[in-house]
Amino acid sequence: MRSMSGVRNILFIMADQLRADYLSCYGHPTLETPNIDALATGGVKFDRAYCNAAICGPSRMSFYTGRTMASHGCAYNRVPIRTDEWTLSDYMRAEGLRSALVGKTHFGSNQTDVDRLNLSADDIHGRYVLECGFEPYERDDGLHPMGMFDPNLRYNKYLREQGYESENPWNDFAASALNDDGEIVSGWLMRNAHRPARVAAEHSETAYMTRRAIDFIREVGDEPWSLHLSYIKPHWPYIVPSPYHNMYGVEDVLPAIRSKDERADAHPVVKAFMNHGEGIVLSDDSARHNVIPTYMGLVKELDDHLGDLMVALSDMGRADDTLIVLTSDHGDYLGDHWLGEKELFHEPSVRIPLIVVDPSESAVAQRGTSSDAFVEAIDLIPTFIERLGGDPNQPWLEGRSFLDIIDGTKAESRDFVVAELDYFARKARLELKVAADRAKGWMVRSDRWKYVFYEGFEPQLFDLDNDPDELTDRASDPSCQGVLDEHRDRLFHWFRCRKSTVTVDYDYLDTRHEFATRGGFIFGEW
């Protein structure tokens, strides 16, 4: 271990589909999240952090590889990345840390390569390939409907041990409720969101994953470690155990960010997504008022268990040598812009919470501060590597370390951030009659402007200074032509500068021109 900072461990916490503005430290007026707020008070809160793709799998693969979707190739959930792609755990093991997972990844292994290379889960190297590089201390991707579930899932086994008798207790208890007549109803249906899940709070997914994380930290002892604790919630199904199901009401729901004009004159791609079921349902205020209080309950439950985790971390003597990150893979529209789910490029979807607590002496002065620097998901791995004493400037890493922000030595930051979308798997593509390999979109977000381009369609442009809610598209305004040109050029530059040389390091690249001369090859001479 080369670190001189005192950081020996990395605790990387991700909550699935957590919006920044549904945390009190990010401004929610009634949803109190004191434990997350305490992390913000003890670290740096980033106000302009963005995922690189607003859907679980592609976003996570950017977090895990330090590379953009266009580079790592995971265009949708469980689309595999290349077998030789380094992931978070590979980088952490290279720095001397045992690297494990508790929770969700949405990683899909490249079965073609697994078969070609004759890899097996019985072999440690094969297991890493099959598990996104992680030691799967407790892998659970979180969705187990009756049509595709593993009866031997550890969480299912745990629920049966607690007395929840069922072939699939996740579906029948954790994701179900009782109606007024005592009949079992599905938590998948948003009309049932206000009802309490059929599991006790101490047996919920969030409670269980927290305990498993504590188990790992206790088990590893004094050995340096990296733990990715990836919570399944507040991702749908929107259902939560008592007492969290009725802690909040309609009065706590933030007003919908939307206008009649943006719906009437919607961009074709956005309109097609509005026509998805979740967009139609959550465009109804009565549905929002049924779902969002439950979403808030899920966030509150998360905060309570993060408090338990922080107490355990301190009791085990690990608070002073562990760098803690709390973030989300993406947001949730919750009816904003007449949309549900995520995927597109409005702020509720692509902007994510990001809090970094660094115990290093060099980070003391910045604790309790907020940063408005642009940060992308791909920046986490370089930051981890640098704090651990390694070299973050690898030719395959497309992110950049933001340790200078943590330490207060910041010299420069990004001028813009980029996010991507591939919607080949969504019904919107069929409505638009777009070929599967052309169903793509990109966002360039600069200090004032947001530029959005979907292949085959006219771009969008939003003036965030004067229209922070992104309700008025300025792309057709002749006075904005220069802004459009500038951001289109930025996107083109971004495409040209992706890192494609991933099998050799910078030393090789810098000295390759000397190879022929040193080796005795003579050509081009008279």
CB 141 within 8 A of CB 105: yes
CA distance 35 to 25: 10
Residue-level pLDDT at 2: 53
Helix axes 34-41, 285-315, angle to 10 degrees: 60
Residue type, position 473, single letter: D
CA distance 199 to 185: 14
Taken in order of first residue, the domains within the chain and their CATH numbers are 9-518 (3.40.720.10)
The 8 Å CB, 24+ separation contacts for 389-394 are 389/1, 389/2, 389/3, 389/4, 389/5, 389/95, 390/2, 390/91, 390/94, 390/95, 393/506, 394/505, 394/506
Residue-level pLDDT at 3: 58
Q: Is the dihedral of CA 168, 173, 175, 177 positive or negative?
A: positive
Q: Specify the residue for token string 């996104």.
A: 132
CB 430 within 8 A of CB 406: no
Sheet with 460-463: list strands edge to edge.
Answer: 416-422, 440-446, 449-454, 460-463
Residue type, position 87, single letter: T
Residue-level pLDDT at 430: 97
The stretches in the chain having pLDDT less than 50 are 1
Nearest CA among 355, 384, 399 for reference residue 1: 384
Residue 364 CB contacts under 8 Å (≥ 6 apart), including other chains: none
Residue-level pLDDT at 4: 63
Nearest CA among 292, 64, 308 for reference residue 209: 308
- Establish whether the linkage from the previous residue to 234 is cis, with ω within 30° of 0: yes
Residue-level pLDDT at 1: 43
CB 368 within 8 A of CB 323: no
Q: How many CB atoms lie within 10 A of CB 525?
A: 4
Radius of gyration of the chain (CA): 23
Percent helix, percent strand, percent coil in the chain, to nearest 5? 40, 15, 45
Q: How many CB atoms lie within 10 A of CB 205?
A: 26
CA distance 269 to 274: 9
CB 49 within 8 A of CB 356: no
Name the token pair of 477. Answer: 């305004």
Please give the torsion angle defined by the CA atoms of residues 74, 77, 83 and 85, in that order, rounded to the nearest 10 degrees: 50
Residue-level pLDDT at 437: 95
Per-residue b or e along 492-516, where b marks 16 or more CB atoms closer than 10 Å to that residue's CB: eebeeeeeeebeeeeeeeeeeeeee
The whole model's pTM is what?
Answer: 0.95
